[in-house]
Amino acid sequence: MNLQIFKTDSFYNALQSFFEALNIPVNYVAEEPVNPQEILSNTFKSHHPAFQLMKNAYFLGMVDDASFEENESINIDKIKTDYDGVLVERS
């Protein structure tokens, strides 16, 4: 597996290649960064030093039963509680 791609390609493309090499299907959501408060709305603490380091967050996609069955994952706007899957993001 070539991890050097994370140095030479965009984060989004590198992660796509990474998950493809691992044979892990991902239902991709967005390539563009968003404000961290949007993704971490329930947990973001602007006064905390770790959160102050975050400039952008990337909501790459979802790994869940639907992605393994080649179906579309649940709409991210409808996730209100625990989620049986993996949300892949980078901050």
Q: Rounded CA gap, 11 and 78, in Å?
A: 26
pLDDT attached to residue 89: 52
Mean pLDDT of the region 50-64: 82
Q: Rounded CA gap, 88 and 36, in Å?
A: 14
Across 5-14, 32-41, 56-65, the highest mean pLDDT is recorded for 5-14
pLDDT attached to residue 52: 86
Cβ proximity of 65 and 86 under 8 Å: no
Q: Is the pLDDT of residue 33 over 70?
A: yes
